[in-house]
Amino acid sequence: MKRKFSLELPKFRLELHAKLVKRRKPLLAEPLLPTPDVVNKKYRTGTFMGRLVRYFADHNNFRKMFAGSFATIAIAGSFIPQTVKVEAQGSVNPVIESQTDLVTQKGMQYPVGQVKINQGYSIFHQAVDLGGEVGTAIKPIMPGIVAYAGWDNSGYGNLVILDHQNNFQSYYAHLSKVEVKTGETVDMDTEIGKMGETGHATGPHLHLEIHQNGVSLNPLTVLAR
């Protein structure tokens, strides 16, 4: 705002033109964490968030503190040992096609002579698929009694279920042929069926499930040691 002042003397006429500017308070006197009233009073235009950012940008203490913190972090970072992260590339759930020699738990055996794991155990596949050729002999993992032998409509195809001691139960699915009957007692040398691809199967393999007390177990944790 401009104001005009006139001063008249006997022989002279003096005119002054002055501009009155409202003086802002020193930045150092302004709080580091302002209230909305402080921000709105200092800046009249823009959104509140925009005015708040301008407030911090104009605040000397904030700029000094930020610069000091950044310098401290940069210096400290130079003394931190650097580590190298190495990530292995490959499939998350690889299919094991090569033959695997596994040691079985005492009193148990793999149902096939040549162990080739086509698919492992997971929450969506609570079994292991053992690959092989159609007609490969299937034997029990341990002695037991045949609880079921025949066709299953849920996707197992030809299925044999055995009851064992200690409340174990084993499932042998997708068989091309069933060679035992319900109620029959079998030992570890009994051939209970032939490997096949019946039911919901994409190729010849044995779908092996192991349960204990009704809870599904990972066959590899039971058989392999």
Nearest 5°: the CA angle 179, 183, 189 is 50
Can you give the length of the chain in residues?
A: 225
Strands 205-212 and 157-163: unpaired
3-state secondary structure of 42: helix
Tokens of 53: 């950012």
Nearest to 117 by CA among 105, 100, 104: 100
Q: For residue 224, how many other CB atoms are within 10 A of its CB?
A: 15
What is this structure's pTM? 0.54
Q: Position of tokens 């009233």? A: 37
Which residues belong to CATH 2.70.70.10 in the chain?
117-223
In angstroms, the CA 33 to CA 55 distance is 10
**Quick check: 90 pLDDT over 70?**
no
The runs of H, that is alpha helices, within 168-218 are none
Average pLDDT value for residue range 184-204: 96
CATH code, residues 117-223: 2.70.70.10
209: left (phi over 0), alpha (psi -120 to 50) or beta: beta
How far is Cα 87 from Cα 27, in angstroms, rounded to an integer?
51
Q: Percent of the chain beyond pLDDT 70?
A: 54
Q: What integer pLDDT is reported at residue 103 of this predicted model?
A: 41
Between CA 51 and CA 59 the distance in angstroms is 12
What is the arithmetic mean of pLDDT over 77-96? 40
Let me know the angle formed at the C-alpha of 199 by 195 and 203, rounded to the nearest 5 degrees: 55
Q: pLDDT band at 63, cuts 50/70/90?
A: low
Q: Considering only 3-12, 99-108, 196-205, 212-221, which range has the smallest mean pLDDT? A: 99-108
d(CA 105, CA 122): 21
Residue 168, CA atoms < 13 Å, CB-side half-sphere: 19
Q: What is d(CA 84, CA 216) in angstroms, rounded to the nearest whole number? A: 40
pLDDT, the chain, mean: 76
Which residues is 122 bridged to in the sheet? Answer: 125
Average pLDDT for 119-127? 94
Cα–Cα distance, 164 to 188 (Å, whole number): 11
- Give the confidence band of 36 by pLDDT, cuts at 50, 70, 90: confident
pLDDT tens per residue across span 39-56: 677 666 666 676 666 766
Distance CA 211, CA 159 (A): 15
